[in-house]
Structure 1
C-alpha cells in the first residue's frame, strides 16, 4: 500500500506542477474546450510585438519556458490582438528591487503604452523605490486601488495574476486575493481617476477594448502561463 501511495503521488506531481497547471505554458483539454487561448507557449513570442513596432526586441528573451525582460531598453510589449471582454491569467516573477506591470485596454495613440491604459502593478514591495504608496504595490490598480499585503509573494517567487473584464466590470486577483472590483466608467471609476495622477491625462481609461501590455520599467521580470479567454 505504501509503495502504491508513493507511486500515485509521483504520478500526480508529474501531472500538476506547483502552479496548478497540467503542464507549463499549455492548455488542458477542458481549457481548450472552454475557449482559452495561449498568448505564450514557452517557446516563441509570436503573439507579441513591441509597442508601436512590428517586431520584438532581442532584450526580451525566452528562458526556461518564461518570457524574460533581460535589461532596460527592451521596450514595452503589446499583444498583437485586441480584446474587449476577457479573462486573462498569467504568472509573473520580479527581480529584487524591480518594477513592472500588466496593462489593459492599451492603444498606440499616445507616446507611451500607459498613456490611456490602466495598469496592474508588478513590484518588489520590499525593496523597490516605488513602495511608499499602497496603490503602487504589487497587484494594485496602479495609483487608483490599493492592495492588501497578503496578495504578494516576495521577489524571486512566482505570483499568479488574473484580470477579468466583462461588460465594464474590472476584477483583479493576485494569488487568489481579490484586489480590484470596479465598473469602468462608473462614478466610482471617475472618482478614482480624478484622485490619481491620471486626472489630467486625456483619454485615460476610456477605451472599450485594446491590447494587453507587458511593461519594460527597466528591471528584470519574467512571465509565463499567459492565457486568455474572450468573453464576447
Structure 2
C-alpha cells in the first residue's frame, strides 16, 4: 500500500475523533448567558424585538418593569432566543420584600398560548418572609391567597416546582435583598430534575411519565380544571410540561428581581 494511502487511513479516523470530541467538549462547557453586559440573546415572550421591562447593569439582569399582572399589557417574561432540552443552569438571584418571580424551561411561543407558564414548568423564586406574613406579598389578593393556601404544603415556596413538588428543606433561602444561588439540572434522558439552593439539594422530581402525570393531576395544571381558566385562551393547560425542548425563561411578576452569574451547560 502506498505511503500516502497509509497516512490517510490512519489520519482520517483520528481527525473525525478529534472533531467529535471538540464538539462534545464545546457543548458541555459552562457558558455565560449575559454577553457583553447586554440583553443579546434574550427577548420578551412572543416578541423577538423587545426586552421591555428588563435591563442589564454591571452584568446583572434586572426586571424593574411593571408586570402584566399590574399593567394588563401582556406578559413581559424574558426568554432565551435559543431553545434548550437537557441542561444545567446556575445563577444568583435577589428579590425585593414581598416579591415573586420564577425560572421556567420548555416554554413554547406558539400564539395560541397567552403566557409562558402554560407550557413551561417553573422553579419558584420568592421572598420567604411572605410565608410568615402573607399580607406583604406583592400582586394583590391573588398572590396573598396563593401563599395562605400553601402555608402547609409549600408547593409555592422557594425552590418548589410550582404547584407540583415542594422543597424538602425549608430553611435554606436568604432574606429579601440578599443574594441566593440556584443550581438547577433538567435531564429528560434521566427523567430527573433537581434544584440546589445555596449548595443544598432541596428538590428532586420526574419530568415525564406516570409519576409526573400523577403530580399534574393533583395540581392546578390538571386538564379537568382548565375550563375555569378562560384568561389562558383556548389552549388552557392542555400542553403544560409537554415540550422537553423549549426556551428558558425568567418570569414577569410583581416586584423587582435581579439575576447575576447566569451560566448554562448543555448535557449530552
TM over 0.5: yes
Q: CA deviation at 1:186?
A: 2.4
Write the distance in 1 (CA, Å) between the matches of 2:27 and 2:54.
31
Whether 1:49 aligns to 2:43 is yes
Count residues with an aligned counterpart: 202
Q: Secondary structure at the match of 2:83?
A: coil
Write the distance in 2 (CA, Å) between the matches of 1:111 and 1:88.
26
Contact 2:42 2:80 in 1 (8 A): yes
- Out of 65, 77, 83, the position equivalent to 2:59 is 65
CA 42–91 in structure 1, closer or farther in 2 if over 3 Å, else same? farther
Write the distance in 1 (CA, Å) between the matches of 2:52 and 2:105.
23
Return 5+ residue gaps in structure 2 as ranges. 1-24, 68-74, 131-136, 138-143, 224-236
Q: Secondary structure at the match of 1:108?
A: coil
CA 202–42 in structure 1, closer or farther in 2 if over 3 Å, else same? same
| Residue 120 (structure 2) aligns with | 117
Greater than 4 Å deviation, 4+ residue runs: 31-34
Q: Secondary structure at the match of 1:150?
A: coil
Q: CA deviation at 1:224?
A: 0.8
Q: Secondary structure at the match of 1:82?
A: strand
Deviates more, 1:49-58 or 1:151-160: 49-58
Write the distance in 1 (CA, Å) between the matches of 2:179 and 2:256.
14
Contact 1:104 1:118 in 2 (8 A): yes
- Out of 21, 29, 34, the position equivalent to 1:35 is 29
Q: CA deviation at 1:63?
A: 2.7
CA 42–142 in structure 1, closer or farther in 2 if over 3 Å, else same? farther
| Residue 231 (structure 2) aligns with | none
Q: CA deviation at 1:33?
A: 9.5
RMSD between superposed Cα atoms in Å: 1.9
Q: Secondary structure at the match of 1:145?
A: coil
Q: CA deviation at 1:209?
A: 0.8
